[in-house]
Structure 1
Amino acid sequence: MPESRQPVAAPLQSQIWPAGGRHLWPSGGVSESHSHQHGHLVYAATGVLAVVTAGGTSVVPADRIGWTPAGIAHRHRAHGDTDMRILFVTPELARHLPDRPAVFLASGVARAVTLALTGGDDDPATARTDTARARLLRVLVDELRDTSEQRLHLPEPRDDRLRALAAMLADDPGENASLAELGRAVGASSRTLSRLLHDELGMTFREWRTHLRVYHALVLLAEGLDTTQTSFRCGWANPSGFITAFAGIVGTTPGRYRAGGPHPPG
């Protein structure tokens, strides 16, 4: 999911401690590329968070938790004013999570534990013993293990023609040109692009464009647009088609997601 190059914006407020942290990002805020010695979980209590690595972009909307393993260079980008929570995971617990970036549904328990370990104005490390924190973190990891991964990771193409195509669709997700028409703009036939999409990303063009559009829709919803406005901006001819596609990827309807209401069981 290509991004425009903008100056790095500092968070409005940060709290950092050895086991994690909290950043309040303004909409459009983005961190420098960095990595950590330990894997970490991120949760957007408000807003939408994008986690960008060399391998692709994970989108972490409200009620999702993102995972980035140790040593993977990444940067964070906020869409909408975002309350970002971070928890570092010990190597022992990290073995129970994927060895690649992933996004999980945040159950009620997972959300409560995450907020309990990162909330408050004071350093949370002083509010609980190390043993109590470790016990809660194990509960959180167990909850994630029992939850299906969400299809909210968009792999980054390697081929220059696919990268050019991705940039075009990111700039205008409502573009409804055919693959053949888009191919002429990037210098490749529709057959070549279809083969590259299958070999590199494991998707058809329709699947890939739908994922790109839904990711863009998450951003627009976070910025306050309603379902109808978002559906047309993202290229759907009618809101019902958008609602179906959105629910298939995110796991809930755009209206319920935008209202912050409960999600169906994941």
Structure 2
Amino acid sequence: MFDSHCHLDFPEFDKDREETLNQCWDERIRSICIPATEARFWPRILKLFNQKPDSVRRYVALGLHPYFLDSHKESHLDDLKESLKHHSETVSAVGEIGLDYALADSNRVQQHYYFVRQLAVADQFNLPVILHCRKAHDDILKQLRQFKLKNGGIVHAFSGSEQQARQYIELGFKLGFGGTITYERARKTRQLVATLPLSSLVLETDAPDMPMSGYQGQRNTPTQLPLVLRKIAELRASPVEEIAQATTENALSILAKQGDWAM
């Protein structure tokens, strides 16, 4: 299995990060992608990169998250380019980037500025992007159509319409589904999981956030990924192993460097 979105760098894992990774291995989770939120955390994320065999492979992404707009500076965009130059063999994507219109007091103009600039960086370095989107799919899709990124990306925690989903897929994107689908109230998202092409789906936890149903109020961890896997298999009436293999291959097709394909 591949957890395509896990903030393993967050302080919530400082006390048991290695133990958590060992537990992931026991749960047959072989790969995790760790996206950044702020520039100050990039060095910590880069240290978590790991491609050693017989351990959980850790892919990393660098970017500026729209939720932390007040922490971003113009200079961080140049820093991003420099980091990608110096760590070209390490960084798999630009992310977590995007637009969040659910933030009532956030500056949308500024959000848009950082988002478009980071899309340009991804285009320059031929990297995929990991997208954060809340109530902004149409605006994000508009920009993606303009940039036409060669390597697409992943739409994290997808919650849009079927029409929007298929537009992302046409642009070369995979759609991330996590703990939301373990809740019965998520009927629309569950229906999407059941009907979209399997080739478009990837698993995620968004740990330490987005706890699964039955675990509300607790820290989410990547070890919970099998709950997402089993729910998708149930919704699609498909074998668990089939979903595990397909979603892993889907994530690797976006995030793995050439020649680096580990199940």
The TM-score with structure 1 as length reference comes to 0.31
- Asked which structure has the greater CA Rg, the reply is 1
- Select the structure with the greater relative contact order (CA < 8 A; seq sep ≥ 6): 2
Which structure dedicates a bigger proportion of its chain to strand? 1
The TM-score with structure 2 as length reference comes to 0.31
Which structure dedicates a bigger proportion of its chain to helix? 2
